[in-house]
Amino acid sequence: MKRIIILTLSCVVLVSSCKKYLEEKTNGILTPDNYYNTSEQIRAAVNGAYTGLNSPFATGIGVAVSSVFSLEYITGYCLRPRPSGYEDNQYLQLTGLDQANGSLATWWTSCYYPIENCNSIIANITRSNTVNGDVKNNFLAEAYFLRAYYYFNAVRLYGRVPLKTTPTTDLNNTQIGRSSIDAVYQQIVSDLTIAEKANLAWTDKTGHVSKGAIKSLLAKVYLTMAGAPLNKGTTHYQLAYDKAKEVIQSGQFSLFASYQDLRNPALNNSGEHILMIQHDETTIPNIMHFSLMPYPDQPVSIQSAYGGAMAPAAEFYNSYATNDLRKQEKAFYYTQHEQYANASSIIKLPAPYIYKYWNDAAEVSGRDGSNFPLIRYADVLLIAAEAKAMADGGSTTDAVALTAYTAVHKRAFPAYAQPTGIAADEVLKERFWELAYEFQTWFDMQRTRKAFDVVNNRMVSLIGYKAPVHNRAFIETDLLWPIPLTEVQKDPSLAN
């Protein structure tokens, strides 16, 4: 924490941001004394808080290297076709994470740099007289949402973490220790509840936080609190259902007609996409298209030499039913592709690869500016179905829950008829298939303490389950990551 606070003191307000957030780009680092004097400056400061969303995707030294993939490696349902180093293998093989693992540090700073930025933004907007009323409250709502999101990642990854909600003004009190998991979640709920009261629109096509995003995240937070490790149970499952139901009944969101629409740039920040990480092919490119290229290299894109970061485990790919449209060629996966600049030649791949993030424009230009989905409406629909099933004792006949589940499942199986009841485990399996490789699965496994036995098509206890790619079964100590060594060395109180 001390290193983060020191850096934040020297960079109190980060105002540079993605082109998609700013029409007029502001460069430089300014202090509160000479900032927050105009609504444009406040807008730029809040925009700066969004940059943390992309931090885990930052590429490291090497090809197809990014800490974000650790969230899929640890599930045991994906491969890294390109040869991996010992740090990635700690996740891929489940050999145990040591505190010096670089991904631990990247995820930590991806939470705490932006948290400290949000603290400063919230404090300075609150005391500013530049804007008032809805304008002020809406700016604050975005900052509160973002702080809640970053804390949500921190507490799910590391468990007990430092809880700090005010900006640092000196270095006399930088060692603040770890708060309880419950205290962190209470702060997250508080931040989102404040944000929810603002007069934001339900949707925002510029990529900023919307009312729909706030309520969707709050539904997921309640769902997580209902499960492990807090185990708040029925009351919070009902809260998750109620919040997801508000999103559903707003009528502002809908599933795309086809899976291809999920990666259509023309549909960014609309329809099924409740909130996305904004990218620009020049300033903040998306790494996914090129990182997921086949390995060994295949001539299917203008740049084919940077892939191999992640591919589905054969057992997981085969768990999809043959007639599941998500398994259909070039929906979520592909097994062959036209040769780049020679469409008449078909390249057959040695195994299935992930197609969710394929970008047709990047195939030709060599630059990927597509947005990344952070909250999808399909996720919210499945939250509603699972939460209501759990609130009702493990299964439900609730009409809203059944309709929500059916909407997601029917897109995969058009002939599917809505059932009269649904069990929570069936919804969980649907989450594994629908949200595969979107960096959601590990968090589902954590909160439910369940894994998907893909060979036998059933949900099983997470502890004791050996996933397809792992060297051993899960044990309790796998569920939370250790605090990075660099942080403990700077702040020994984090070791307690």
DSSP-assigned states of every residue in 344-393 = EEEEEEEEEEE-TT--HHHHHHS-----EEEEEHHHHHHHHHHHHHHHTT
Residue 72's nearest CA partner among 314, 486, 432 is: 432
What the block records as the tokens of 240 is 């998750």
Distance CA 411, CA 175 (A): 51
Sorted by sequence, the CB contacts under 8 Å of residue 45 that are 6+ apart come out as 13, 14, 15, 35, 36, 121, 124, 125
Q: Domains (ranges, CATH) in the chain? A: 2-199+480-491 (1.25.40.390), 287-368 (no CATH)
Distance CA 256, CA 343 (A): 27
The HSE-up count of residue 453 (CA atoms within 13 Å, CB side) is: 12
Residue-level pLDDT at 175: 83
Distance CA 40, CA 140 (A): 14
- Rounded to two decimals, what is the model's pTM? 0.94
What the block records as the tokens of 473 is 């079964």
Rounded to the nearest angstrom, the gap between the alpha carbon of residue 425 and the centroid of all alpha carbons in its chain is 22
Residue-level pLDDT at 95: 94
Cβ count within 10 A of residue 480 = 17
- 338 strand-pairing partners: 346
Task: Write out residues in the chain with pLDDT < 70, as ranges.
Answer: 1-34, 60-63, 173
- Taking only the tens place, the pLDDT of each residue in 204-230 is 999 999 999 999 999 999 999 999 999
Asked if 487 and 494 touch (Cβ cutoff 8 Å), the reply is yes
3-state helix, strand, coil in the chain (%, to 5): 45, 10, 45
- Dihedral angle sign, alpha carbons of residues 253, 312, 417, 379: negative
Sorted by sequence, the CB contacts under 8 Å of residue 327 that are 6+ apart come out as 317, 320, 321, 333
Distance CA 373, CA 157 (A): 20
